[in-house]
Amino acid sequence: MGSVSSYFGQLCGNEKKGEDERHLRANDRPFNLSYRYANNAIKTSKYNIFTFLPLNLFEQFRRLANAYFLFLMILQVIPQVSSLSWFTTAVPLILVLSITAVKDASDDINRHKSDKQVNNRMVDVLIDGQLKKEKWMNVQVGDIIKLENNEFVTADLLLLSSSEPLNLVYVETAELDGETNLKVKQALTVTGELGDNIGALASFNGEVRCEPPNNRLDKFKGVLSLDGQTYALDNDKVLLRGCTLRNTEWCFGLVIFGGPDTKLMQNSGKTTFKRTSIDHLMNVLVLCIFGFLAFMCTVLAIGNAIWEFNEGSVFTAFLPREQGVDSGLSSFLTFWSYVIVLNTVVPISLYVSVEIIRLGNSFFIDWDRKMYYPKSDTPAQARTTTLNEELGQIKYIFSDKTGTLTQNIMTFNKCSINGKAYGELLDFAGNRVEITEKTEKVDFSWNRLADPKFDFHDHSLMETVKDGNLEAQAFFRLLALCHTVMPEEKNEGELYYQAQSPDEGALVTAARNFGFVFRQRTPETITVVEMGRQVVYELLAVLDFNNVRKRMSVIVRSPEGKLTLFCKGADTIIYERLHPSCNQLKGVTTRHLNEYAGEGLRTLVLAYKDLDESYMDGFKRRHHEASTAMDGREERLDELYEEIEKDLMLLGATAVEDKLQDGVPQTIEQLAKADIKIWVLTGDKQETAENIGYSCNMLREDMKEIFIVAATTAEGVKEELENARRKMCPDSVDKPSVIKERAGLFWLQKTETVQDEKVDGDYGLVINGHSLAFGLEKNLQLELLRTACMCQTVICCRVTPLQKAQVVQLVKKYKQAVTLAIGDGANDVSMIKAAHIGVGISGQEGMQAVLSSDYSFAQFRYLQRLLLVHGRWSYLRMCKFLRYFFYKNFTFTFVHFWYAFFCGFSAQTVYDEWFITVYNLVYTALPVLGMSIFDQDVNDRWSFQYPQLYAPGQLNMYFSKKAFVRCMMHSCYSSLILFFIPWAAIYDTVRDDGKDIADYQSFALLAQTCLLFVVSIQLCLDTHYWTAVNQFFIWGSLAAYFAITFTMYSNGMFFIFTGAFPFIGTARNSLNQPNVWLTIFLTSLLCILPVVAFRFIVILLRPTINDKVRYKMRKEALPASAPPKRHKHISTRRSGYAFSHAQGYGDLVTSRKFLLRPLKSRPALVIQTDSPLAQNQPQHYRTIKEEPEGSQSP
């Protein structure tokens, strides 16, 4: 379709060229229309009333199965070939196509309604000097529009002016990234002066040159040219479509991108289609079945040729051949006839049933109250219905740490100020004291602006601040100034902080309670209430955070005129930039950092630097040049920041606790027992991640060894990995054992599998980001994989989002194992999309991970229920369904094969045509669905008690190519019994009254009745968990069979539709004979008895874990769960880095005006003294109390 439209576009000269740069002029529609930019109308629908039928049918027939059944139906309308009436294939095919078409039509009608609703929204547009109401779809690039509070943003806009001071606007971006916290945007000062003056806005003729349409939500580069001046534009000046205006009376914006060019629509691309391993196996098996079908048809066609040659001439007297038909042509036609007769080896109902089963199991996940989190009113959600059984086969879990294993709710716990540690609770002997609810809290009542929810117990810190200690006051002054938090004060004294990261909010709140209250900010100033006195600092610059810098700084001028740079960041980054005079203090602070990291706390180091006027004059000029550059803007700014952030003076360090979620250690312990390997991929520091690993039982003291890989060269990484591997397995060879195979449809896909190596004992591996970068290179990745897979636990620290995805892809590529990735933040999206299964946790970091995931819930602990219960049951049910489905259909079809040898290979069917039509749709559909939706080998409590029950799914024990072959052999045996026993029983048999019963129709009825009884009894044997629904479906299907049979074989149906119902009277004449029922009983017994005997012997001699647990379940009640072991690990390690910050917020809180302001000088902020380590003093402290229903940190 796209190529056709492109071709005609070229013919007409309308081919739209890809944009290199967007150029537009405000209030000049003719100029902007000349570029043929897209208008603001959107279209997400796929069809219209004319294209629906052809396009939908085309899409459906692209599926191999549907095309196959269409081909069969075409064969059936050819008289020379058809051995069955066309309706036997047409009815189920039309039913399936119709159900799918109705579903697609319903979805598309909803899309049409949504498009219409959005396109017809009204907005104020400035046209010909007047504000006029226009539909969204009629808005053009270059128009100026007015938005009011709580309105959706119409298109991607350049913010011009707003009703708020300093041209700020507040937007909610939930539709873009799922985050409901408000974000701040700010217009340029030069456009902000336009205000709501319609005349000034109508005469505004600024030109914008910017990047072409793209899907980067966090990036925008452009320049505004106005009156000969050029102004830099970035993401903070742009309002994106999909946002909602909040707390802002009005604002005006210039349309830059419209409709399909907006970043929202650019991001609405197709999600990667994930398929389960069973799906891939089914494709291969279906292909094999097609081959087997062709083989059977060929055998029967050859048989027909031989029979026609030897015996056929005898029958030509009363069955003359058609003219021109000889034995060769007859054999060819017979081949296609048997393709039709034997097509039930791949019934169309298979695919419909699979989707119904998956949908049913998805509902069980959605409805599970034990995965509902009442605190945030968040139920579990199966966001996809096609991957359920894959949940029962997970071998590797890749987890984020912050917000996934931990709560991402930060509490300010401890700090180190000028060499003195605060926050520990000690008695007079200097020993740590356990905290209880009765422990006295610090009284903040003297501070009317204090946060009443903030708890702290170290009274000495409060006394130090109150006593006027310069270092302590400078410490909290830095926390109150160096951040990008936005304050909101609805009532006098009721401050609410909008922090973009929980740890930053915790630090600013701590400063607030200790007397340094961040009260208000403007782009040029920060207002702080210091110990009750209001102080206004002039904000000259924000040196923003990014993932490379790992720090942020602010430059402020105090009321006394002193210039100071305040900086906070990771210890390793700040330490590199300290003045040499801080060495002694750095050593003391490092010891404190090690203690904090040993307790799993997240840390930051604080420092400052005094600046002079002469240096700032040059800096502001170069900063202006760098910030307005179109090319290399970030690189030039980074160079400037590196230059100014050196020779810093150390103030101290903060320690923030990110508590474990409820049940994390127990969950990880359960998953480890299920032989699931857990890898943690986190951006945190190695020491923090390592100690969280101990806290949640991933790393244990009883492990033989925990290897640390931290080399900074490729050779060093290789050596450390090899040493670790040889310690775990001294006999391992240098080169890994890689098995190369072909897989996939038509065996076109090449796979390489790295074999697992046996290891005696449990080991752990911790690797940092630098080493991981070398390990992921092509020449080292197999060594990394070998070593990591020999370990029970792997922790990768300081990894980027891209590296997370690369690790997942490495395991997927070389282990051929099913992977699951779980995370809660935007930085986890790439990992979630890369894994076979993606799980999103709806936590503190917004909803981006959830929006990209396949399953979502609120707490990590629900993962064990998702896998060990729902996943295992779904896998078990799907495998049972496939085994039984193939069994019943192969049995059904093989009877035709044996019958061919007795009907001259004439492609005559054993069964009545109506039985063939409704066998899979009515008689056997509901019973197998009942089993496949409700069955469970053991209940959920026993599944938790014995996680080892999960292991068979990882090994594909329940359904594989071997299981499929066994199923075929079973079907072959059953079909032999089902054909030859009724055939022998009815051969030359007479009724009680002496009349002959050995006619074709009576045999057909007997054979199909035997078949239905056997497959029904087999289903009963396969069912472990009986419900009223199962009973109803089994007995209901048998009752339906007899009801339909007696109806179709009645006189009335024959008289109405003589040609369609030829089996008149067969049912009542046959089923009233005792020998018929005896034959049904004998056939069922011979088919089922060997199965029962075989299963009995297997359970007796080689019982599986399932058999043992089911036996135990029958014999005894479920034992109470043992209390979880708690592992406490305190070690001296380097600190953990706590800044979960995002780049780009710094520029929001500042203005370019600072570059034009004169600078004053002032005296030093803090007189630096090398204080010795403070003496031990009694200190009172306890961990900050959780909210109700809070977690317990082990």
Which residues are part of the catalytic machinery?
400
Please give the full DSSP string across 252-276, using - where no structure is assigned: EEEEEE-GGGSHHHHT-PPPPPP--
Q: Scan for tokens 């039913």, then name that residue.
A: 95
Cα 629 from Cα 631, distance rounded (Å): 6
Torsion of CA 56, 57, 63, 69, to 10 degrees: 150
**CA nearest to 767, candidates 740, 783, 751, 788:** 788
Three-state secondary structure call for residue 1160: coil
**CA nearest to 410, candidates 1188, 1189, 1187:** 1187
Q: Scan for tokens 């069917």, then name that residue.
A: 909
Cα 1048 from Cα 1069, distance rounded (Å): 14
For CA atoms 288, 293, 298, 299, give the dihedral sign: positive
Residues 6 or more apart whose Cβ sits within 8 Å of residue 140: 29, 32, 33, 37, 39, 40, 255, 258
**Residue 638 has which token pair?**
């980074």
**CA nearest to 1048, candidates 923, 905, 900:** 923
* 1068 within 8 A of 1046, measured Cβ to Cβ: yes
Cβ atoms < 10 Å from Cβ of 561: 13
CA atoms within 13 A on the CB side of 375: 13
Cα 1064 from Cα 1044, distance rounded (Å): 13
**CA nearest to 655, candidates 577, 600, 578:** 600
Cα 473 from Cα 479, distance rounded (Å): 10
Tell me the CA distances in angstroms from 313 to 307, 320, 1105, one per residue in order: 9, 9, 62
* 641 within 8 A of 562, measured Cβ to Cβ: no
**Beta partners for residue 159, in sequence order:** 253
Cα 780 from Cα 796, distance rounded (Å): 16
Please give the full DSSP string across 759-786, using - where no structure is assigned: -SS-EEEEEEHHHHHHHTSTTTHHHHHH
Torsion of CA 534, 539, 544, 550, to 10 degrees: -50
Cα 907 from Cα 891, distance rounded (Å): 17
Cα 423 from Cα 595, distance rounded (Å): 12
Residues 6 or more apart whose Cβ sits within 8 Å of residue 228: none
Cα 1080 from Cα 978, distance rounded (Å): 9
Cα 768 from Cα 771, distance rounded (Å): 6
Cα 602 from Cα 596, distance rounded (Å): 8
Give me the helix-helix angle, 925-934 and 349-366, nearest 10°.
30
**Residue 1149 has which token pair?**
């809180």
Segments of 424-532 assigned E as strands: 486-491, 494-498, 516-521, 525-530
Cβ atoms < 10 Å from Cβ of 312: 20
Cβ atoms < 10 Å from Cβ of 32: 20
